[in-house]
């Protein structure tokens, strides 16, 4: 059953990721009427929101764009940093949306940031549990109590699932801020705005698939635990 869940959501993730790459490739070929680059758009959005301590930088790769709250940088991939397209505008503004969230202490972003250490600890604990179960299966049967192991796994996956679902409002809000700003600032026309919206909605769906996958896996382990008690 777990294998089926993993395969189903791996396929779903691949489909969404492929659609995302296809749309960004398509919209990257649509030149902006405003003629602004992703870097210029990002810097303008930051200034309009009274943010002067965030730096816009270029990072290697494709779709590697992100906002780093630790050093206050908006990191854009080369195609977005130098691009003057509907796709570049959408991504640059979206990442600045996260910077605006940070500056305004958006509660879901703060909650998500607070969860990062817990998420990291949970991942380490999961690795230890799975290694102990694997080692016990081949070398020392009974090294770990199955029900205790299931409880730990459920606790860890509860953290993963909560983190994944908390990420959703953070991503959707950043996109909403971006789309509203690029329209109000006349960065894009109506046609370009529709493209930007389509691209960002597709990007957000990758997070939705991840959240549903985490929830399905959590429910699977809960059902196993409940069944083991009968």
- The pLDDT assigned to 200 comes to 96
Share of the chain above pLDDT 70, in %: 94
**pLDDT tens string 53-90:** 999 999 999 889 999 999 999 999 999 999 999 999 99
The residue length of the chain stands at: 230
At 174, the pLDDT band (50, 70, 90 cuts) reads very high
What is the rounded CA–CA span in Å between residue 169 and residue 46? 21
What is the rounded CA–CA span in Å between residue 90 and residue 93? 5
Degrees to nearest 5, angle at CA 82 with 77 and 87? 70
Which residues on adjacent β-strands are paired with residue 75?
Answer: 57, 66
- The pLDDT assigned to 147 comes to 84
From the list 118, 123, 120, 112, the residue with the least C-alpha distance to 69 is 112
User: Rounded mean pLDDT of 151-157?
Assistant: 94
From the list 159, 151, 155, 170, the residue with the least C-alpha distance to 119 is 159
The pTM (predicted TM-score) of the whole model is 0.88
Q: Which pair of tokens denotes residue 202?
A: 């597709």
Q: Which alpha helices (H) appear in 145-189, and where do they start and end? A: 146-184
Q: Strands of the chain (E only): list them.
A: 55-58, 66-68, 73-76
What is the rounded CA–CA span in Å between residue 66 and residue 157? 25
**pLDDT tens string 18-39:** 999 999 999 999 999 999 999 9
Do 32 and 39 touch, CB atoms closer than 8 A?
Answer: no
36: left (phi over 0), alpha (psi -120 to 50) or beta: beta
> Does 92 score more than 60 pLDDT?
yes
What is the rounded CA–CA span in Å between residue 179 and residue 194? 9
Token pair 């630790």: residue: 70
What is the rounded CA–CA span in Å between residue 203 and residue 66? 13
Share of the chain above pLDDT 90, in %: 77
> Does 228 score more than 80 pLDDT?
no
Rg of the chain, C-alpha, whole Å:
21
Token pair 């758009």: residue: 41
> Higher pLDDT residue, 140 or 162?
162
Degrees to nearest 5, angle at CA 108 with 103 and 109? 45
3-state secondary structure (DSSP) of residue 49: coil
């Amino acid at each position: 059953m777990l294998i089926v869940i993993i395969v189903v959501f791996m396929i779903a993730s691949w489909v969404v990721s492929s659609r995302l790459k296809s749309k960004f490739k398509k919209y990257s070929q649509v030149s902006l009427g405003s003629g602004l680059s992703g870097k210029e758009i990002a810097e303008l959005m930051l200034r309009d929101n009274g943010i002067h301590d965030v730096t816009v930088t270029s990072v290697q790769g494709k779709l590697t764009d992100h906002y780093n709250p630790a050093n206050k940088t908006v990191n854009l991939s080369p195609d977005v940093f130098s691009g003057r397209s509907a796709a570049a505008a959408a991504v640059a503004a979206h990442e600045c949306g996260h910077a605006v969230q940070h500056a305004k202490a958006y509660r879901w972003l703060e909650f998500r940031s607070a969860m990062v250490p817990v998420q990291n600890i949970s991942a380490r604990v999961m690795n230890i549990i799975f290694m102990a179960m694997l080692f016990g299966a081949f070398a020392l049967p009974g090294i770990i109590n199955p029900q205790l192991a299931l409880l730990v796994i459920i606790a860890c996956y509860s953290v993963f699932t909560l983190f994944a679902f908390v990420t959703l409002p953070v991503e959707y809000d950043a996109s909403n801020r971006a789309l509203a700003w690029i329209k109000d600032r006349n960065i894009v026309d109506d046609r370009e705005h529709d493209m930007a919206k389509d691209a960002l909605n597709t990007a957000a769906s990758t997070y939705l698939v991840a959240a549903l996958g985490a929830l399905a896996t959590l429910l699977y382990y809960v059902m196993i635990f409940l069944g083991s008690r009968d």
